[in-house]
Amino acid sequence: MAELHLWQRDILILIFLGWSNFLPILGRVVFKKYLSTPLDLGYRWIDNNYLLGPHKTWRGLIVSIIGTGLASHFTPFGLILGLKLATFSMSGDLISSFVKRRIGLKSGSRSFLLDQGLESFLPLWILKDSLFICWTEIILIVSSFILLEITLSPIFYMLHIRRNPH
Q: Is residue 1 part of a domain?
A: no
- Chain length of the chain: 166
pLDDT digits (tens, 9 = 90+) for 85-121: 999 999 999 999 999 999 988 877 777 778 788 999 9
Q: Is the dihedral of CA 106, 107, 110, 114 positive or negative?
A: positive
1 has a pLDDT exceeding 70? no
pLDDT on residue 109: 75
Q: Residue 164 falls within a domain, yes or no?
A: no
Higher pLDDT pick, 122 / 150:
122
Assign 3-state DSSP to the chain and report helix, strand, coil percentages, each to 5: 65, 0, 35
Residue 103 lies in a domain: yes
Inform me whether the pLDDT recorded for 10 exceeds 90.
Answer: yes
Residue 131 lies inside a defined structural domain of this protein: yes
Contact between 90 and 66 under an 8 Å Cβ cutoff? The reply is no
What confidence tens digit (pLDDT) does each residue in 18-53 have?
Answer: 999 999 999 998 998 888 999 999 999 999 999 999
**Is 132 within a domain?**
yes
Answer whether residue 68 is part of any domain. Answer: yes
Residue 165 forms part of a structural domain: no
How many domains would you assign to the chain? 1
| Structural domain boundaries enclosing 139 | 6-158
The answer to whether residue 166 sits within a structural domain is no
